[in-house]
Structure 1
Amino acid sequence: MIKVMLYEDNPQLREGLTMLINGSEGFEVLAAFKNCDHAVQEVSAFKPDVVLMDIDMPGTNGIEGLKKIRSVDPDVKILMLTVFDDNKNVFQAISNGANGYILKKTPPSRLLEYISEAQTGGAPMTASVATQVLKMFSSMNNEKGEDYNLSDREKQVLQLLVDGYSYKMIAGEMFIAIDTVRSHIKKIYEKLHVNSKSEAVAKAFKDKIV
């Protein structure tokens, strides 16, 4: 059972998402809130697997809520669910540790897939957002930085993460077990000093590691 928490200020959408997720096998909404004013306490109390987070909310907005949660919990999966796909919001969300960035116009069945993907370590992004991320980082003209002492194998795994592969797909591509993939990714996170796949991908682009 994937336990979900919602942050959405539109009451109709909040109720609709709650009904959709609760009505789908394998998913449960623990709680839903209209802003992130008490996000740290709420996440700590309910211990969700995945948080669906709107950005534009009264009071504490989604980006600030994301920062607050990440300051105390690096592990909970946080998906930004928003109407905004502009560079500023995308960059702020990824830079502050969002695990994915999806648009509200996403079809319901796809939304459930995204939640599952995030819960298992993926970094789901709506196609238009992923395109923006690629353009955003390719436009950065930083000189090639240090390689963070990644092994050739770890660089190969990181390249596949950048290419959008899931853990299962990486295992298949490299002919290794999923546990081995997880071990490689854990070491990559440690060497890059990041806490999520989206942060690792962002750093790979920024520092031209792969």
Structure 2
Amino acid sequence: MVRVSIVEDQDLIREGLAILVDGTPGLECIHQHASAESMLSVIQQQPPDVVLMDIELPGMNGIEGVKAVKAAMPDCEVLMLTIYEENEKVFDALCAGASGYLVKKTPPAQILEAILEAARGGSPMSSQIARKVVHLLRHERSTPDTNPLTDRECQILKALADGNGYKAIGHDLHISVDTVRFHIRNIYLKLQVHTQSQAVAHAVRRGLID
């Protein structure tokens, strides 16, 4: 069972999302909140697997909320669900530690699939957001640094950036899924990141992968 926390200040949207989540096999909304502060006050006692969070919130905004969640619970996945599509907000959210980024016009079925994907370690994004991220990272790319990653780690990170899952990467590289996970853990440690989206963003900006 994937435990979900919802952070959304609009009551109708928040309650609708909670009903949607609770009506889906394998998902459970364990708490819902109108502010990041409210959510942060309970996540240690009732830890969620995935937090679905808006950006524009009263008090602490969603981007600061992501940082606080990852500081308190590094293994918790955070999905942004927002009206904002601006490059700056998308990039700030991903660099803060968000696992994925969805716009609110995303169909309900895709939101549910994104929650499940995030719980599996993926980085779901609305299609228009994914295109923005690729465009933004290419233009933000800096002069290549000394690469701390091995050739195999670069292969795996490039495959993640191309949208491949662990099983597909293992099949293509003729290694087990557990070996893929081992390499990804090493990538996270070397780049000092916590999520796939952070790893890809850092690697592209530093010129470690194309």
| Number of equivalences | 209
Contact preservation (8 Å) 1:39, 1:69: no
TM-score by length of 2: 0.96
Counterpart-to-counterpart distance in 2, 1:33 and 1:141: 37
Query: What residue number does 1:183 align with?
Result: 182
TM-superposed CA distance for 1:15, in Å, is: 0.8
Contact preservation (8 Å) 1:5, 1:48: yes
TM-superposed CA distance for 1:141, in Å, is: 4.7
Counterpart-to-counterpart distance in 2, 1:140 and 1:62: 23
Query: What residue number does 2:207 align with?
Result: 208
Output the amino acid matched with 2:108: P
Output the amino acid matched with 2:109: S
* Matched-pair identity in %: 42
TM-superposed CA distance for 1:175, in Å, is: 2.2
Query: What residue number does 2:170 align with?
Result: 171
Contact preservation (8 Å) 1:2, 1:27: yes
Counterpart-to-counterpart distance in 2, 1:142 and 1:177: 33
Aligned ranges 1:134-153 → 2 under 5 Å: 134-148=134-148, 150-153=149-152
Counterpart-to-counterpart distance in 2, 1:152 and 1:47: 37
Aligned ranges 1:19-168 → 2 under 5 Å: 19-148=19-148, 150-168=149-167
Quote the RMSD (CA, aligned, Å): 1.1
Q: Which range moves more in the overlay, 186-195 or 38-47? A: 38-47
TM-score by length of 1: 0.96
Counterpart-to-counterpart distance in 2, 1:60 and 1:141: 30
Contact preservation (8 Å) 2:8, 2:14: yes
Specify every segment of 5 or more residues in structure 1 that has no aligned partner in the other structure, as ranges: none
TM-superposed CA distance for 1:196, in Å, is: 0.8
Counterpart-to-counterpart distance in 2, 1:27 and 1:141: 38
Matched residue SS, 2:197: helix
Structure 1 residues 87 and 108, CA gap change in structure 2 (3 angstroms): same
TM-superposed CA distance for 1:70, in Å, is: 1.8
Specify every segment of 5 or more residues in structure 2 that has no aligned partner in the other structure, as ranges: none
**Structure 1 stretches of at least 4 aligned residues deviating more than 3 Å after TM superposition:** none
Counterpart-to-counterpart distance in 1, 2:117 and 2:61: 24
TM-superposed CA distance for 1:140, in Å, is: 2.0
Aligned ranges 1:11-22 → 2 under 5 Å: 11-22=11-22
